Amino acid sequence: MAAVHHPGCPHRDSLFWDETDCQNYYGMLSLHEVFEVVGCQLTQTDIEVLSFLLDEACPAPHPLDPTGWTVEPCGDDPNDPGVSPSPELLKAWMKLKPQGSQGPLVASCTPKSGLELLLELEKRGYLSDGNLEPLLQLLRVLTRHDLLPLASHKRRPTVTPERLMPHSKKQTEIPQPYYAHHLRTGIIPPVTEPSASKGRKRRGNGWSGRPKKTRRTVPPLPPPPQAHKDFCNIRLRVRAEYLEHESALREGVSSDKRQPLERQFELFSKANTLLHARDLGTLVCVIKFTDVDNLESFWADYLSGALLEAMKGVFITDSLRRAAGREDVRLMMSVDQDDYEKGRMLLRERRMVSSSQGGVD
């Protein structure tokens, strides 16, 4: 909503925010922005499978259905007669609907993109601003686990692989003082100061002639320094899947139930079982990096697609082709962006610490 200006109270203007400004301030995405992020990642096969499930499980009423143009009269108001469809609409509906057809006439959904498909799901009431769980379930049915982190209102930060060139290290890295290492680890060696208070004479007990023992204050030993982690782990998920699922779904998914709700549940259950049976497997690799340059090169190859092309010859083997038969197989790959950001920060910090310690020595 727009801001309301009060001439006498200028501080009240900040209480009224526009919805877009509020979402940008808190790093949130609107529902349609989430649809754009997820929809652009859906392949044509994913769109066809979801369109098939959408038409079978969530049929939409036809736009000319008279039930959608009928308003029931209000029971509390006797003067409210309600609204009935026009005779022209009823005449067109009788021509459109076949004679003797008891089931409802539905409109087929043929979306051309992932965004149109998600908007159609919202239009039919399957998705809403506060309920994204059905979208997560559909992504799990498609085994698109790489898109699960994207189906969220939280805005993900954009990452650009900034290379750290060797010739610019002396210009960018500033030598840190000797206590930078202690400040980072939280261990500061104790500093002994001369005591300013004068010692007072104490009266003896009169019967002991032994000299008094002087107490020596021993400074506490600092705890042992914690071992620094000189490496980071990056999780790489590789998944092989069939290139096309529509023909298998149309041949293997059917239902003889008469009730619409039972029919929808049976179709969804059979489709889910069939897609799980066609799952070719997922492999999760944990790669250890000790140098920030190698990590940034790995991330740049992942963003450009060179890493995926290099991995095809490793993961798409002859045994996998024999298991797939005549159907085409594709390889999907995903890397956790949070692992990359944390590892990049850790390795850069360790490089700066080691360079500062080398300069001091």
245 falls within a domain = yes
Q: Are residues 14 and 122 in the same domain?
A: yes
| Amino acid letter, residue 146 | D
160 falls within a domain = no
171 falls within a domain = no
Report how far Cα 71 is from the mean position of its chain's Cα atoms: 42
Q: Does residue 65 have a pLDDT over 80? A: no
Q: Are residues 146 and 237 in the same domain?
A: no
329 falls within a domain = yes
Residue 305: the pLDDT is: 86
Q: Are residues 146 and 263 in the same domain?
A: no
What CATH number corresponds to the domain at position 120?
Answer: 1.10.533.10
226 falls within a domain = no
Confidence category of residue 102, pLDDT binned at 50, 70, 90? very low
Q: Which span out of 52-56, 227-231, 311-315 was modeled with the highest average pLDDT?
A: 311-315
167 falls within a domain = no
Structure-model confidence comparison of residues 64 and 243, the more confident one: 243
Residue from 134, 133, 136, 156 nearest 145 by CA: 136
Q: Are residues 119 and 239 in the same domain?
A: no
328 falls within a domain = yes
Structural domain for 327, as ranges? 232-360
Structure-model confidence comparison of residues 59 and 281, the more confident one: 281
pTM score over 0.75: no
Instruction: Average the pLDDT over 160-181 and give the result.
Output: 44
Average pLDDT of the chain is 71
Q: Does residue 63 have a pLDDT over 80? A: no
In 256-315, alpha helices (H): 260-277, 292-304, 306-315
Residue 73: the pLDDT is: 67
User: Cα–Cα distance between 333 and 326 in angstroms, integer?
Assistant: 23
159 falls within a domain = no
Q: What is the number of domains present in the chain?
A: 2
Among residues of the chain, what percentage have pLDDT more than 90?
0
Q: Does residue 244 have a pLDDT over 50? A: yes
Structure-model confidence comparison of residues 228 and 120, the more confident one: 120
